[in-house]
């Protein structure tokens, strides 16, 4: 029940994001969610796309450093307290989060959260036990 | 089995070499005194006559020749023969000032061909080899020097010259090149391009590389040897002395044998000019004792090196110079600390998974020198977590600090963003000037 996130090394230089967007566009890649983590000199652009393998290949061809990482996509009710259920269940099982970011979907009333944790298997188990919906990669691609 | 081009000389007993040197030195000094006004003046001013130079031990009585002497007498003022005897000129790139011109008689070209042939033999080359020369042909001595060495030994020369990487690779494969003569930085670039093109190394017949024209480290040698599937041999030379072939590496791959029957080496303290004993690091100085057109006397190379007479496993008795750590011109003084770009290279490549492409940016902020080291991101060190990348930066920073004794800012940059060179690599941008 894990999905692949594509991470791209981006130097802090004018025009890099535009260049990446163009590569993705030219290869017909649809972006589901994104976040950027930045430091003074560089950033890591993290994307959930409809076809991670194709995106990886296209970006590598353009000399980008790219890696695929397994992450969890969880669906939670889009209302007050929705996030609490998820975070509490992780906390109670002593699972710490490396990073996370959220997005909404056109499909339903849920909010979706991309989670990067140390132990994916354990986190998926815990989330399911607590009634949090975990999406398969197919569900993300078809969104 | 070790191959020699001229075993009688390369393995001669020391006393034979020394008596040859003494004889050749005294006749060369006489030759320049008679034919070069600049040298005559210098020697007269120093109160030295050619009669004072009888043996190698008298060498240190003679004044040094500097690059500036060549500039002051530009273009042909130091030539010791009439121009009708000069069959070729070459010139230095002039990156650090006005270019300097050097000349050769027909006999000088023969000497050069022989010393380059010795280097090829020491790298395992012989008549059956296809020698791919990727050094530039032209005023630069690299291309033609190795070309003539190749013909001298009877191998097949492939005069590709520098540049056009995909054509280089096609020729390496299709023509069956067995030995490549190239700068280390370009060798690395070729290896990288071959890997990217997805060509199987078994399609090449390459067995050895003869690499020079810029300082390189043992770590870089490992990268090149792995990347191209070859043995990489160092070669040393400078146009003022003759070009490639002044010194060359043997199977031991630990220091280069100097063709001391043609060029007498000394190591001096660059500040005082005092001759230093074997084993001590200092500036390399060469005296040409067989060339006719431009026999420079005690030419200061600005290269920092060490000489050793220790026995070599290859059987050669010619004196060895350890790999130059860099040119004294390349040496950076950052916050009062001497830094050679090659030291940074050693640290980076010693870490194992770092890209061999790097750039040093030196600047001055306020009154303080700053050093930034740009390192290219690679798949091996990339991570989706900022934390790991910052840890990597810190690891490099600490390694640099403990080796160089100064702190540097490490900046990870995108792959291929540091310019690749097809000749000598640029490793430093100094913005303080």
Domain termination site, one of B300, B328, B356: B328
Domain termination site, one of B328, B355, B384: B328
Q: Please write the tens of the pLDDT for every residue from B173-203.
A: 999 999 999 999 889 889 989 998 999 888 9
**Confidence class for position B210, pLDDT limits 50, 70, 90:** very high
B138 pLDDT above the threshold of 70: yes
Residues on B contacting A at a C-beta cutoff of 8 Å? 377-379, 382-387, 389-390, 411-417
At A113 the pLDDT is 94
**Confidence class for position B97, pLDDT limits 50, 70, 90:** low
Q: Do B385 and A44 touch (CB under 8 A)?
A: yes
Whether residue B264 sits in one domain with residue B205: yes
Chain A nearest C-alpha distance from B383 (Å) = 7
Whether residue B92 sits in one domain with residue B43: yes
Domain termination site, one of B313, B328, B343: B328
Q: Do A11 and B389 touch (CB under 8 A)?
A: no
Tell the residue number behind the tokens 């600005």, with chain if given.
Answer: B302
From B306-310, B368-372, B424-428, the region with the lowest mean pLDDT: B424-428
CATH number of the structural domain spanning residue B299: 3.40.50.12780
At B353 the pLDDT is 83
Whether residue B353 sits in one domain with residue B258: no
Tell the residue number behind the tokens 């870490």, with chain if given.
Answer: B351
B331 pLDDT above the threshold of 80: no
Query: b vs e for B61-95, b when ≥16 Cβ sit within 10 Å of the residue's Cβ?
Result: ebebbebebbbebebeebbbbeeebbeebbbbeee
Whether residue B174 sits in one domain with residue B61: yes
**Confidence class for position B56, pLDDT limits 50, 70, 90:** very high
At B224 the pLDDT is 94
Whether residue B274 sits in one domain with residue B135: yes
At B338 the pLDDT is 77
Which chain B residues touch A7 with a CB distance below 8 Å?
382-384
B244 pLDDT above the threshold of 60: yes
Whether residue B85 sits in one domain with residue B208: yes
Give the residue-averaged pLDDT of B338-358: 85
User: What whole-number distance in Å separates Cα of residue B17 and Cα of residue B8?
Assistant: 10
Percent of chain B with pLDDT over 70: 97
Whether residue B119 sits in one domain with residue B15: yes
Q: Do B412 and A41 touch (CB under 8 A)?
A: yes
Q: Please write the tens of the pLDDT for every residue from A27-66.
A: 999 999 999 999 988 999 999 999 999 999 999 999 999 9
**A96–B contact, CB cutoff 8 A:** no
Q: Do B384 and A10 touch (CB under 8 A)?
A: no
CA closest to B417 among chain A residues: A63
User: For the whole model, what pTM was predicted?
Assistant: 0.75
Chain B nearest C-alpha distance from A115 (Å) = 12
Whether residue B323 sits in one domain with residue B336: no
At B328 the pLDDT is 67
At B236 the pLDDT is 95
Whether residue B177 sits in one domain with residue B84: yes
Give the residue-averaged pLDDT of B241-258: 97
For residue A74, the cross-strand partners are A113, A134
What domains are defined for chain A? 3-68 (3.30.2130.10), 70-141 (3.30.2130.10)
At B205 the pLDDT is 97
Greater confidence (B92 vs B231) lies with B231
CATH number of the structural domain spanning residue B394: 3.30.300.30
Q: Do B386 and A10 touch (CB under 8 A)?
A: no
Nearest CB to A9: which of B387, B414, B416?
Answer: B414
At B420 the pLDDT is 83
State the residue range of the domain holding B369.
332-430
Three-state SS string across chain B, please?
Answer: CCCCCCHHHHCCCHHHHHHHHHHHHHHHHHHHHHHCHHHHHHHHHHCCCHHHCCCHHHHHHCCCECHHHHHHCCCCCCCCCCHHHEEEEEECCCCCCCCCEEEEEHHHHHHHHHHHHHHHHHCCCCCCCEEEECCCCCCCHHHHHHHHHHHHHCCEEECCCCCCHHHHHHHHHHCCCCEEEECHHHHHHHHHHHHHCCCCHHHCCCCEEEEECCCCCHHHHHHHHHHHCCEEEEEEEECCCCEEEEEEECCCCCCEEECCCCEEEEEECCCCCCECCCCCCEEEEEEECCCCCCCCCCEEEEEEEEEECCCCCCCCCCCEEEEEEEECCCCEEECCEEECHHHHHHHHHHCCCCCCCEEEEEEEECCEEEEEEEEECCCCCCCCCHHHHHHHHHHHHHHHHHHHCCCCEEEEECCCCCCCCCCCCCCEEECCC
B329 pLDDT above the threshold of 70: no
At B337 the pLDDT is 79
**Confidence class for position B161, pLDDT limits 50, 70, 90:** very high
Please tell me what DSSP assigns to residue A130. Answer: T
Which chain A residues touch B413 with a CB distance below 8 Å?
11, 42
At B216 the pLDDT is 85
**Confidence class for position B367, pLDDT limits 50, 70, 90:** confident
Whether residue B413 sits in one domain with residue B297: no
Please tell me what DSSP assigns to residue A87. Answer: H
Would you state the structure tokens that stand for residue B63, as one six-digit string? 């004044």
| pLDDT tens digits in sequence order for chain A, 143 residues long | 799 999 999 999 999 999 999 999 999 999 999 999 999 889 999 999 999 999 999 999 999 999 999 999 999 988 898 899 999 999 999 999 999 999 888 777 789 999 999 899 999 999 999 999 999 988 888 77
At B94 the pLDDT is 54
B96 pLDDT above the threshold of 60: no
CA distances B228 to B180, B194, B214, B225, B270, Å, are: 10, 8, 19, 6, 38
Which chain A residues touch B382 with a CB distance below 8 Å?
7, 9, 65-67
Domain count, chain B: 2
CA closest to B381 among chain A residues: A65
Residue B340 φ/ψ, nearest 5 degrees:
-100, 135
The whole-angstrom distance between residue A110's C-alpha and the CA centroid of its chain comes to 16
Which chain B residues touch A99 with a CB distance below 8 Å?
385
Closest by CA to A8, choosing from A57, A41, A46, is: A46
Would you state the structure tokens that stand for residue A91, as one six-digit string? 């906390």
Whether residue B377 sits in one domain with residue B310: no
**Confidence class for position B168, pLDDT limits 50, 70, 90:** very high
Whether residue B344 sits in one domain with residue B231: no
At B432 the pLDDT is 82
């Amino acid at each position: 029940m894990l999905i692949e996130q594509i991470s791209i090394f981006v130097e802090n230089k004018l025009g890099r994001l535009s260049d990446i967007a163009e590569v993705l566009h030219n290869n017909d890649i649809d972006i589901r969610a994104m976040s950027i983590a930045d430091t003074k000199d560089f950033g890591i652009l993290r994307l959930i796309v409809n076809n991670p393998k194709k995106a990886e290949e296209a970006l590598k061809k353009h000399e980008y450093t790219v890696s695929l990482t397994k992450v969890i996509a969880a669906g939670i009710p889009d209302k007050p307290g929705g996030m609490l259920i998820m975070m509490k269940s992780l906390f109670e099982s002593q699972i710490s989060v490396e990073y996370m970011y959220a997005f909404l979907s056109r499909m339903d009333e849920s909010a979706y959260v991309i989670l990067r944790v140390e132990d994916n298997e354990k986190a998926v188990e815990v989330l399911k036990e607590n009634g949090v919906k975990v999406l398969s990669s197919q569900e993300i691609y078809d969104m | 089995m070790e191959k020699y081009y001229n075993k009688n000389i390369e393995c001669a007993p020391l006393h034979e070499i020394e008596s040859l040197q003494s004889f050749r030195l005294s006749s060369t000094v006489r030759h320049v005194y008679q034919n070069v006004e600049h040298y005559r003046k210098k020697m007269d001013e120093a109160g030295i006559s050619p009669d004072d130079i009888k043996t190698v031990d008298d060498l240190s009585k003679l004044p040094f020749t500097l690059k500036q002497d060549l500039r002051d007498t530009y273009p042909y003022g130091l030539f010791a023969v009439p121009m009708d005897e000069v069959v070729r000129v070459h010139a230095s790139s002039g990156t650090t000032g006005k270019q300097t011109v050097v000349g050769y008689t027909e006999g000088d070209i023969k000497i050069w061909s022989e010393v380059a042939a010795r280097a090829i033999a020491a790298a395992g080359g012989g008549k059956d080899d296809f020698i791919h020369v990727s050094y530039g042909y032209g005023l630069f001595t690299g291309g033609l020097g190795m070309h003539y060495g190749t013909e001298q030994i009877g191998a097949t020369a492939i005069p590709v010259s520098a540049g056009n990487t995909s054509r280089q690779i096609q020729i390496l494969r299709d023509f069956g090149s067995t030995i490549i003569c190239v700068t280390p930085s370009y060798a690395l670039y070729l290896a990288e391009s071959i890997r990217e093109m997805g060509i199987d190394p078994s399609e090449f017949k390459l067995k050895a590389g003869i690499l020079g024209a810029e300082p390189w480290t043992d770590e870089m040698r490992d990268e090149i040897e792995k990347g191209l599937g070859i043995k990489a041999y160092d070669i040393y030379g400078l146009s003022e002395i003759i070009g490639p072939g002044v010194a060359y590496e043997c199977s031991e791959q630990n220091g280069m044998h100097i063709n001391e029957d043609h060029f007498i080496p000394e190591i001096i303290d660059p500040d005082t000019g005092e001759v230093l004993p074997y084993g001590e690091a200092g500036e390399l100085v060469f005296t040409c004792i067989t060339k006719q057109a431009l026999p420079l006397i005690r030419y200061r190379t600005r290269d920092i090196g060490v000489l050793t007479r220790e026995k070599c496993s290859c059987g050669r008795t010619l004196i060895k110079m350890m790999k130059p750590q860099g040119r004294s011109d390349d040496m950076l003084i950052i916050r009062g600390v001497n830094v050679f770009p090659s030291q940074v290279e050693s640290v980076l490549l010693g870490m194992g998974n770092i890209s061999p492409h790097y750039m040093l940016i030196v600047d001055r902020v306020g009154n303080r020198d700053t050093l930034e080291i740009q390192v290219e991101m690679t798949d091996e060190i990339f991570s989706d977590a900022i934390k790991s990348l910052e840890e990597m930066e810190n690891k490099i920073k600490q390694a640099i600090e403990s080796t160089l004794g100064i702190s540097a800012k490490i900046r990870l940059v995108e792959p291929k963003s540091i310019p690749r060179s097809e000749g000598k690599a640029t490793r430093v941008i100094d913005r303080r000037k």
